[in-house]
Amino acid sequence: MTITDNSFSEKLTFPNLSLCYNLSMIRQLSLIFSLIFIVSCANEEQPTEQDAKDFLAEVQLRAETEGPVIYSANWISSNFITYDSQVVLADFSKRYTLKSLEQARVASTFDNLELEPEDRRALDIIKNGFVMPPPLNEELAGELSGIMTELEAMYGSGTHCFSENDCYDLEGFESIIDNSRDPDELLKAWNGWREIGKPMKDKYLRMVDIGNQGAQDLGFDGLSDLWFSKYDMPVSEFSETVDRVYEDLKPLYESLQCHVRAELNEFYGDDVVPDEGSIPAHILGNMWAQSWANVYDLVYQEESTGKPIDLTKVINDRGLTEIEMVEIAEDFFLSLGFEPLEDTFWERSLFVKPADRNVVCHASAWDINPKTKDLRIKMCIEKNAEDFSTIHHELGHIFYYQAYADQPAVFQSGANDGFHEAVGDLLSLSITPNYLQKIGFVSEEEAESAKENGIAFLMKQALDGVVPTPWTLMLDKWRMAVFNGELSEDEMNDYWWELREKYQGVRSPNERPADAFDPGAKYHIPGNTPYTRYYLARVLQYQFHESLCNDIGFEGPLHECSIYDSEIAGEKLRAMLSMGQSQPWQDALESIIGTRELSGTAMLNYYAPLKEWLDIQNEGRSCGW
């Protein structure tokens, strides 16, 4: 299952008894949960290569027989939110967590054997398929499970009251942050939501303490070592790689920050937004200042030339149903040579919010049973441009599942945890005026008119595509410092804002109180969702897009390229997707772009016209922070 963090939306409420959905790790966890085959630790004889093969065969068998049941329990929990469905789901977590750790330790007994590369890779994936592992101790496992459930509940049910009749939950606070232009009202909402983080701090630190013990019991130095052991390269080398890529992207981001700050300064004045330095976090149109799309109208004045396509109007004028919107997205993949989706996809997916019950509406793609091709999406579709793009993104996950379905179960995942999101985002980049013309949504004249104002299009894209990049990098840098014990309790919040200023050029709008725990106001911290995957996805999607556009011989600005209806692009994409996680991610990357290097160059090329425009606008301004 892949739960999309599209636009990093936080409007999903997490039930109190829900499992902690660990996005790309859920496949590995379900495999491990389902195992009952145990290599006896009491056996004095050293394990053999055949023992390892027998162990992996049992992994496959149990994944095929028990995995779909676990996924179905998750599906029911998300589609029928009742006390009982949550109890059933929570019971899976309680009963299988210790078993999963035991199986990981079994996998580690083969560490010193010379094995075939495929078997060694499979065992390593089983060992590192954890995010917050408890030690093999029932009391600590129970304590950890309780803390994790409680932290999710504290976030999901988070509400702050300024007075008896002045209370807000996240949705209420976000409505203000997203839409208000009153700096006092914005500051009140920004401060209010961060109140929910304060009581999380002690619980979070205790969780990290137990998790570090669990990681060490698995043979890792700690949680940091465990989290970054999944990237087919030494942890230090991986860290250097992601930092190098960010250095490539900094000039683009700094130019964008400089322009946005200047425009907001003009709108709000010096007292709210100074004309130099970092931008106060509360006036950027997003609760976490990780997307600035909601202040587009304040930072860019559209030119009179050209007419943007109002995709929401097109969808409604054509009277499209929710299912027809999905069918159009499926057609995109069929045009690339993918196989049609099974009838069960259309019969079992959730496309429309039910009128008779609560469901988790956050868009997600589900691989219930690879053997029977039981693929589904769960989404409460709205007839607008945003959901049209999200549908294409979700089907990116679905056709990724389809492509690697013949791999052994342990390899049924993205090449690394950023690949799945990158593939979904890749398709979103192809929703261009040319694509909309080809599918009959607009005329040739309308498409050409829309392309006349390319800077407006790129500015919108950048505020939601470039802006999150440093945010997706700094979040796990903060978390690693906590995991490694580099911060005292009193330093944790200060370091959070130190990193946000360093990487984002964003600062707290006021002095934070001594008991503040602002990281807790972002779901992925109390929810223990690794965030580097989103950084990788942001970078990879542009590398995929540029390479495929070059392969099909596209001539013109990259933001006008669509891979729709290209057999060449489809063949190359399917070849990479079909590898799943069977090879190092560098091999998968090389198969589609011809190089093994993660690089920010493709993103820079995509936004080159915008960067030139920004440089002109920023002449005479004091850029940087």
C-alpha separations of 332 from 205, 443, 499 in Å: 46, 19, 40
The pLDDT of residue 519 is: 97
Q: Residue 378: beta bridge partners?
A: 350, 364
Q: How do beta strands 506-507 and 279-280 pair?
A: parallel
Gyration radius from the chain CA atoms: 24
For residue 142, CA distances in Å to 86, 201, 363, 437, 511 come to 17, 19, 31, 56, 37
- The C-alpha atoms of residue 239 and residue 235 are separated, in whole angstroms, by 6
The string of pLDDT tens digits covering residues 60-78 is 998 898 888 888 888 888 8
pTM over 0.85: yes
- pLDDT of the residue at 199: 96
Could you give the CA distance from residue 59 to residue 281 in angstroms, rounded to a whole number? 47
Q: Please name the amino acid found at residue 567.
A: E
Tokens of 619: 């002449």
Whether the CB-CB separation of 563 and 592 falls below 8 Å is answered with no
Which two tokens mark 314? Answer: 């097109």
pLDDT for 516 beyond 80: yes
- The residue type found at 28 is Q
* Beta bridge mates, 365: 2, 377
Question: Is residue 94 pLDDT above 80, yes or no?
Answer: no
Smallest Cα–Cα separation from 393: which of 475, 333, 306? 333
State the pLDDT at residue 39.
Answer: 42
From CA 249, how far away is CA 239, in angstroms rounded? Answer: 16
pLDDT score of 45: 77
Weakest mean pLDDT among 303-312, 402-411, 578-587:
303-312
Beta bridge mates, 364: 3, 378
What pLDDT score does 1 carry?
A: 57
Over range 111-115, report the average pLDDT. 93
∠129-64-534 over CA atoms, to 5°? 35
Asked whether 381 and 555 are in contact (CB, 8 A), the reply is: no
Q: Give the per-residue pLDDT at 33.
A: 39
DSSP symbols for 367-434: EEEGGGTEEEEE----SSHHHHHHHHHHHHHHHHHHHTTTS-GGG-S-SSTTHHHHHHHHHHHT--HH
User: Quick one: average pLDDT of 455-474?
Assistant: 94
Q: Please say whether the beta carbons of 377 and 362 come within 8 A.
A: no
| Residue 603 CA neighbour count, 13 Å, CB half | 27
**Per-residue confidence (pLDDT) for residue 347, from 0 to 100:** 97
560, 433 contact by CB (below 8 A): yes
Question: Which tens digits make up the pLDDT trace of 14-47?
Answer: 333 333 333 333 344 444 333 333 344 434 578 9
Query: Do residues 427 and 392 touch, judged by C-beta distance below 8 A?
Result: yes
- Burial (0-12, 13-18, 19+ Cβ within 10 Å), 173: buried
Provide the CA 30 distance to its chain's centre, in angstroms: 19
Residues above pLDDT 70, as percent of the chain? 92
In the predicted structure, residue 10 carries a pLDDT above the cut 50: no
The pLDDT of residue 44 is 53
Catalytic residue list: 362-363, 393-394, 397, 421, 524, 534
Pinpoint the alpha helices (H) of 157-222.
170-179, 183-194, 201-217
Identify the CA nearest to 530 among candidates 23, 7, 157, 62.
23
pLDDT at 93: 67
| Comparison of pLDDT for 611 and 131, the residue scoring more | 611
The pLDDT of residue 103: 78
Query: CB neighbours of 240 closer than 8 A, spacing ≥ 6?
Result: none
**Phi-psi region at 305: left, alpha or beta (left = phi > 0; alpha = psi -120 to 50):** beta
